[in-house]
């Protein structure tokens, strides 16, 4: 969550979303209120070229995720698929959510 806050409150991201820092923090607070903490029982390192991505993959594996929503498909896709986790971009995910809402 700290990384999300640091990245999403950068000037370029605020401009892209059209949100203020306060609005962005409200979205993150809402996300945190429904997030389920995951205990890392097994470490699968090293699997990825970028060590900073390891905790993302490990959280998905330990949390038994079926999807990993990320812009970083290049680094995460192959490793996630080894564990049966589909990787998908945020824009595709958003389109799926909107499509389901219309049903």
The series of mean pLDDT values per 10 residues for the chain, 103 residues long, is 89 93 95 90 82 89 94 92 94 90 85
The alpha carbon of 9 is separated from its chain's Cα centroid by a whole number of angstroms, namely 16
What pLDDT, on a 0 to 100 scale, did the predictor assign at position 43?
78
What pLDDT, on a 0 to 100 scale, did the predictor assign at position 33?
95
* CA–CA distance, 79 with 57 (Å, rounded to integer): 8
What pLDDT, on a 0 to 100 scale, did the predictor assign at position 41?
82
* CA–CA distance, 28 with 95 (Å, rounded to integer): 20
What pLDDT, on a 0 to 100 scale, did the predictor assign at position 28?
94
Closest CA to 42 of 28, 62, 22: 62
* CA–CA distance, 69 with 95 (Å, rounded to integer): 13
């Amino acid at each position: 969550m700290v990384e999300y806050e640091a990245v999403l409150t950068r000037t370029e991201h605020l401009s892209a979303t059209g949100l203020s820092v306060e609005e962005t923090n409200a979205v993150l607070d809402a996300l945190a209120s429904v997030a389920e903490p995951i205990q890392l029982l097994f470490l699968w390192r090293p699997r990825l070229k970028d060590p900073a991505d390891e905790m993302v993959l490990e959280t998905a594996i330990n949390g038994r995720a079926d999807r990993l929503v990320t812009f970083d498909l290049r680094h995460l896709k192959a490793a996630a698929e080894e564990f049966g986790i589909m990787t998908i971009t945020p824009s595709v995910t958003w389109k799926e959510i909107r499509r389901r809402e219309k049903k």
